[in-house]
Amino acid sequence: MIWSRINSIAFFGFVGLAKADTASLNESTAVPKFHLTLAPSLVQDDYRLHGKIVLSRACGSNETLVVLPKTIASVASAQYGASGLTASDKEGSLPLDFQEVAQGPFGLPTQQWTPKRATEGPVSIDFTAKPASVNVSALPGPHFDIRNATGGLTGSMWALVPVPNPLSGDNYNITVSWNISAEQGAAYTWADGVGPHSHSFVGPVTRLTQTYFIVGDVKGYPSMPTGPDGKFGIYWLEKTPFDIEKVGQYLQNFLSYSTKFWQDNSTDPYRVFIRINEEQRAGSVGTGAGGTALLRSFLFGYNRDAGLAQDRVITLLAHEMTHNWTPWSSGTNAEQSRYNEGGAEFWSLRLLWRAGMLTTDQYLDEMNTRAVDYYTNPTVNYTDEKAQEVAWEIRDAQRIPYGRGMLHFANIDAQMRAKYNGTQKLDNLAIPFLHACQQNGNCGAEEWFPLLKSSLGQEAVDGWNKVSSGQPLMKLAEGSLGPCFEVVQNGTSPVVYVWKVKEGLNTSSPDCLI
């Protein structure tokens, strides 16, 4: 899962990073400094994370110094309020005014702090965050908040660190330092280490906030730390109920295959973070289980008592990783979710199949499971917008963009292969769309619909909008799973469409792979 607004923020950070990467090394001395030091206090039953920011940017008495979302997709961030931040500068104590605004940067409810006088010299800001108070009977939400597990803390920098206006796009010389013991470890999306260590880069503050972190008694795959050349890492605090080494190898292989498929030339690392979820209601893949993606990373959680089966872990993590390449970032949350969640479902399974990481029979089973889930969903006739509106109250509605988007992509793929006699498929739309989004930094219907229309005509655009309305019920197109499968109806109340192997065909034949 990638919360809808994240894509626009992530791409905002991506574009800013591209600009920063072209800067000379000398630029790091020309831009203001943002130095963050984090120090955990892991006293039993009273875990905390202390932070200090040193910011070398002048701020007037009527200017906002730093901001932090109050909530992100209804998930509470650190609630520092009027007294949770203390500031000082060259003149001594720096009193701050505090205000909550209903719509701050990226449309989020926001906490903001303004100095009561103009600043003099670098500003130091101290804060302390506590783990979130969890409603165990709630649905698992996006995984942004700060959580504890035995021996450590996990969370997103987005919910932890107050920053200057993230919409400015201004570059900062950013340093993240971990004040930890020699035995402790810490990682965030861009770097990891054991014992006290620091990592620096030049870029916009979204390059910092759109990352996850973990600190304490951290374990890592393939090692902890992975080292400066390590481009992949998985981090956790408590022993997992699944084989972490097998999952790690699987994900590394999938990342390598996907990177080549999407023509992704990024040299950035990719990190996976694991946490314990206390929620006891069913999530996207099991009790208390789910995941959320940010820049070049995702965090997933599971309920300690319920555990999580290995096969569910693999498909969940492949889905989350695929959000690297689901770029719809403009328009409504519903429009974004339809493309991004449906795309992550479709492409994670399709590429696992193409890479030989799922057999054809396994792929058929995964696709049919999702088809049945969609057609038997009691909210199947909701519009995209209505499903989004109630997504965090009604779990069934939360699943609509996943199933609807995936099945419609399968239909579009069939239309492409049929029209162009197998010489083109959905790949020929999705990859150019991704590259256009990466170039523009923000994209959606204005880029996607012309691609659809140029390849399949106006009726393809009309079909997209009709599917979004939820009615009539979408039927699977013949050929939507390739030449070896046919579409059958295996239910009438409700109506359910699935795929089955054509009579007499051997699914191990390479001709079945599309």
269 and 230 assigned to the same domain? yes
In a domain, 319, yes or no: no
Q: Name the domain boundary from 313, 340, 355.
A: 313
Note the Cα 421 to chain centre separation in Å: 36
Last residue of a domain, one of 278, 313, 348: 313
Cross-strand bridge partners of residue 213: 155, 188
438 within domain boundaries: yes
Q: Are 204 and 20 in contact (CB under 8 A)?
A: yes
Give yes or no for a contact between 296 and 6, defined as CB atoms under 8 angstroms apart: no
Q: Is residue 298 part of a domain?
A: yes
Q: Can you give the residue range of the structural domain that contains 201?
A: 6-313
Residue from 324, 342, 333, 335 nearest 437 by CA: 324
Contact between 247 and 313 under an 8 Å Cβ cutoff? The reply is: yes
Nearest to 6 by CA among 350, 299, 264: 299
Same domain assignment for residues 348 and 292: no
In 399-472 the beta strands, taken as DSSP E runs, fall at: none
DSSP state of 139: P
Identify which of 67, 163, 54 has the alpha carbon closest to the alpha carbon of residue 112.
67
Q: For residue 343, what is the domain's CATH number?
A: 1.10.390.10
Structure tokens at 513: 């792979």
Can you tell me the distance from the alpha carbon of 357 to that of 342, in angstroms, rounded to the nearest whole number?
20
Same domain, residue pair 394 and 303: no
pTM of the model: 0.90
Which residue is listed with tokens 């020699």? 182
Pairing of strands 33-43, 172-178: parallel
Same domain flag for 253 and 340: no
Decide: 31 and 126 in contact? Cβ < 8 Å.
Answer: no
379 and 265 together in one domain: no
User: Which backbone phi and psi does 273 adopt, to 5 degrees?
Assistant: -120, 140
- CA 159 vs CA 58, 94, 178: distances in Å: 24, 24, 18
Say yes or no: 383 and 456 in one domain. Answer: yes
Is 320 among the domain residues?
no
3-state class (DSSP) for residue 422: coil
Supply 195's token pair.
């014992």
**For residue 431, with 0-12 CB atoms within 10 Å meaning exposed, 13-18 middle and 19 or more buried, which class applies?**
middle
Structural domain includes residue 384: yes
Indicate if 257 and 195 belong to the same structural domain: yes
For residues 193 and 336, membership in a common domain is answered with no
How would you write the pLDDT of the chain (514 residues) with one tens digit per residue?
654 445 445 544 444 444 444 343 444 458 999 999 999 999 999 999 999 999 999 999 989 999 999 999 889 999 999 999 999 999 999 999 999 999 999 999 999 999 999 999 999 999 999 999 998 888 778 999 999 999 999 999 999 999 999 999 999 999 999 999 999 999 999 999 999 999 999 999 999 999 999 999 999 999 999 877 788 999 999 999 999 999 999 999 999 999 999 999 999 999 999 999 998 887 666 788 888 999 999 999 999 888 778 888 899 999 999 999 999 999 999 999 999 999 999 999 999 999 999 999 999 999 999 999 999 999 999 999 999 999 878 889 999 999 999 999 999 999 999 999 999 999 999 999 999 999 988 899 999 999 999 999 999 999 999 999 999 999 999 999 999 999 999 988 999 999 999 999 999 999 999 9
Same domain, residue pair 498 and 376: yes
302 and 365 fall within a common domain = no
Instruction: Tell me, yes or no, whether 364 and 504 share the same domain.
Output: yes
Distance (Å, rounded) from C-alpha 465 to C-alpha 469?
7
Residues 237 and 337 in one domain: no
Euclidean distance between CA atoms 272 and 221, whole angstroms:
10
Domain count, the chain: 2
Domain final position from 284, 313, 342:
313
First to last CA, the chain: 26
Report the SS3 class of residue 346.
helix
Q: What is the rounded CA–CA span in Å between residue 38 and residue 128?
A: 9
In a domain, 114, yes or no: yes
ω before 494 within 30° of 0 (cis)? Answer: yes
Q: What is the CATH number of the domain that holds 107?
A: 2.60.40.3650
Q: Is 110 helix (H, G, I), strand (E, B) or coil?
A: strand
Specify if 321 maps to a domain.
no
β-sheet bridge partners, residue 53 = 36, 125
Tell me if 1 is assigned to some domain.
no
